[in-house]
Chains A and B, each alone.
Chain A
């Protein structure tokens, strides 16, 4: 089963390699991993999308909590939550199909951010399924390349997803 795990870490030397190494060393999957600073000085947040049965997910969470620089671990999939990732996608265009492609982009609420005579770069955000659907629809036109962030996630409602205090 796919799980999205939110990990609040102290932004200390080697913390990313401790976490990524934990996953590789113990044979856990990482589908995506995104890291950035939070508003709090010295604290970063990682969102890890992984998969495994309940026992594996339980071990992943326990092993993450064992790391000294890890402040908080939450399995966001267990909460009512919002998950987004962003994709930049470069697609081939021709005079004859450009407006057709624009229609698709609008339908998916994407944004055109670069345009040439024979290509477009689109920015689109959403959950993974939406992005994959978008890719599928544009595939026949000729996708030149894509760049994707990993997923990031927050719980719904006023409470913080990972409150470490």
Chain B
């Protein structure tokens, strides 16, 4: 039986197991939306395309499935650009479907025409322009495969209006045929043995755990490698949850606002096993001060991440989980007692650093400290909530004061640093994991960037909690101006802002304002009782609090400012 392009598209999405997608209709998408009207795929209508794609991103990060979103041609598609780049930077599997004007009009500057394939070319894992209805099934099949396998990322598919109306037979391919795309899964055994020999001989080794451990679901394998060898684990920002934040071998998070012990430790190891990480500048600090005496082995599914920023001695290309399984199969053949004494001393030294300088703040202050809000959320949710963040101080405090038990519990825009990401991402995460509590730890600046999505959360009864750490500033901007620009607060002051309680109520959501420290915990507990709509909590926090420790731009990991 022949079907229209739109019908083939929707049926192909069902074949890929899509049961939820985020989309905003438009002129060229009307045929597809007419088909979706009869489909059992749940469709979520955000109030802005950017909200839609961030929600798809949050859904993908929380569930491990591919996130799917639609935007119409022209502005609908260009509104997706930030979300596409965000997903590319943080390796999030998305299939992004954009409307396009009819093929006969392409290139003529038609109404709502934009060359979205050209615009997004540098920020996608791959992209397609559909040119006939026969190829739709193959393209969808390939797109989901490419998005989810290897190092995940966004795939854009541009759908010209006329092709969606043309008819073809529906034939869904059984497998993909991509001769130029074949990500390595298993690691090279010789390299693994070489790595293990180096690790065995190391006296001051560390494991540097990145987001790849979370993405590949290698949490158990990662913990086992650390436990069997007694090697401390230091994570990147997005590596949080790779092993439990409460694990005795977990030292913390490395980088600009990571903990003292992790940063001090990274200045002097003799061996690093880096796992699924890309050595971002925010993690490494000034490169010549980053582990200058270490030999480094690096497991990563993306060969281009290896030796990109830091020279690697033992590259191991492969899926983190698969390679760590291989490592575990070999690990008993090596003697982990050989340098036990020096390693125990090393671990003790790191723990002493941590004891000397843990994350902290003035706990006796009468005013609400933003860190106290995060700590209270941790306490009330018993460390089991999914925590999304916006970008800036709120993000760093969320990273510092919430300990994650599991992978996929921490959802934050790490690479691109997208303000306005956290709230829609939280909506997507909650839709994907309805049994979990989902918080967006927000700043008043970031929250303003996508607050129209309160409407979406209300419409679909998404009970996310937003904790605005409201300091009436673009806090991280203020902090830098305070520390490095002589207190010249240029354009960082947000004195003019809405009444967030009334704002929430105007959307038929729940709004709370918390002005006293003693009310913080109660408000969070109260918010958990609300199961059918979003709760916006406006915490009036200390306006002048800064995030510490801090590695200033251009400094090395062990050159932190502590206050």
Partners in one complex: yes
**A→B interface (CB under 8 Å):** 9-10, 13-14, 17-18, 21-22, 25, 55, 58-59, 62-63, 65-71, 164
Interface string of B117-136 (1 = CB under 8 A from A): 11001100111110100000
A-B contacts besides A62-B303, A66-B304, 17 pairs, CB < 8 Å: A13-B129, A14-B117, A14-B118, A14-B129, A17-B121, A18-B121, A21-B121, A22-B122, A25-B122, A62-B304, A62-B306, A65-B303, A65-B304, A68-B126, A68-B178, A68-B180, A69-B180
Q: Which of A14, A62, A66 contacts B121 (CB 8 A)?
A: A14
Chain B residues lying within 8 Å of A59, measured Cβ to Cβ, are 304, 307-308
Are A13 and B304 in touch, CB under 8 angstroms? no
Interface string of B221-243 (1 = CB under 8 A from A): 00000000000000000000000
List 26 A-B pairs, Cβ < 8 Å. Answer: A9-B180, A13-B131, A14-B118, A14-B121, A14-B129, A17-B121, A18-B121, A21-B121, A21-B122, A22-B122, A55-B307, A58-B307, A59-B308, A63-B304, A65-B303, A65-B304, A66-B304, A67-B180, A68-B126, A68-B178, A68-B180, A68-B181, A69-B180, A70-B180, A71-B180, A164-B179
Chain B residues lying within 8 Å of A71, measured Cβ to Cβ, are 179-180
Min CB–CB distance B413 → chain A (angstroms): 21
Q: How far is the CA of A164 from the CA of B303 in the complex (A)?
A: 19
Q: How far is the CA of A2 from the CA of B151 in the complex (A)?
A: 31
**Most chain A C-beta atoms within 10 Å of own C-beta, residue among B126, B127, B179:** B179
Min CB–CB distance B114 → chain A (angstroms): 15
Min CB–CB distance B367 → chain A (angstroms): 46
Chain B residues lying within 8 Å of A14, measured Cβ to Cβ, are 117-118, 121, 127, 129
Q: How far is the CA of A97 from the CA of B149 in the complex (A)?
A: 66
In this complex, what residue of A is CB-closest to B142? A68
Chain A residues lying within 8 Å of B121, measured Cβ to Cβ, are 14, 17-18, 21
Chain B residues lying within 8 Å of A55, measured Cβ to Cβ, are 307, 311
In this complex, what residue of A is CB-closest to B122? A25
Q: How far is the CA of A71 from the CA of B127 in the complex (A)?
A: 17
Chain B residues lying within 8 Å of A164, measured Cβ to Cβ, are 179
Are B180 and A10 in touch, CB under 8 angstroms? yes
Decide yes or no whether B146 CB sits under 8 A from chain A.
Answer: yes
**Do A10 and B307 form a contact, CB below 8 Å, given A21-B121, A68-B146?**
no
Min CB–CB distance B276 → chain A (angstroms): 16
Chain B residues lying within 8 Å of A22, measured Cβ to Cβ, are 122
